[in-house]
Amino acid sequence: MPRVKRGVTAHRRHKKVFERVAGHRGARHRVYKVAHESMMKALAYAYRDRRNRKRDMRSLWITRINAAARLYGMPYRDLIHGLTLAGVKVNRKVMADMAVRDLKGFGALVSAARAALDAKVGAQAGK
């Protein structure tokens, strides 16, 4: 059986790992075994946090919408319910952007939601 020298393959594999952990501290970017563990953990965190970022952004959008809606005297839950009743299809990302950049346009959304809520209350009172 022919002799197999594995130096080149191992070096290439190690080099790939060291390039990925270049910014890590201490042995995490110098020692292969520690660097490999560090890289695997970092990749796991990156995978997990790509999903968590979506959760965090939605929470931020809701906070911004609530703050802007309260400027117009309406809590977040009533705004969302009113927009649903009015048939207005605007996602939270767009509404949060409007709350920050276009307060007048956001006010139009609030007034549409308020009108739909008032119409519902009026219809229930008429029963």
For 7-125, give the CATH class: mainly alpha
Q: Which of 2-11, 77-86, 89-98 has the lowest mean pLDDT?
A: 2-11
Q: Where do the structural domains in the chain lie, given as residue ranges?
A: 7-125
| Predicted pLDDT at 127 | 64
pLDDT (mean) for 96-101:
96
pLDDT tens-digit series, residues 22-49:
999 999 999 999 999 999 999 999 999 9
Q: Label residue 121 by pLDDT band (50, 70, 90).
A: confident
| Predicted pLDDT at 103 | 93
Indicate the pTM of the whole model. 0.79
**Percentage of residues in the chain with pLDDT exceeding 90?**
87
Please check the confidence at residue 108 and state whether its pLDDT lies above 90.
Answer: yes
| Predicted pLDDT at 78 | 95
| Predicted pLDDT at 124 | 80
Buried/exposed 69-80: b ≥16 CB within 10 Å, e otherwise: beeeebebeebb
The one-letter amino acid code at 11 reads: H
Compute the distance between CA of residue 75 and CA of residue 70 in angstroms, rounded to an integer: 5
The one-letter amino acid code at 15 reads: K
Nearest to 107 by CA among 116, 119, 95: 95
Q: In a 10 Å sphere around its CB, with 0-12 CB exposed, 13-18 middle and 19+ buried, how is residue 68 labelled?
A: buried
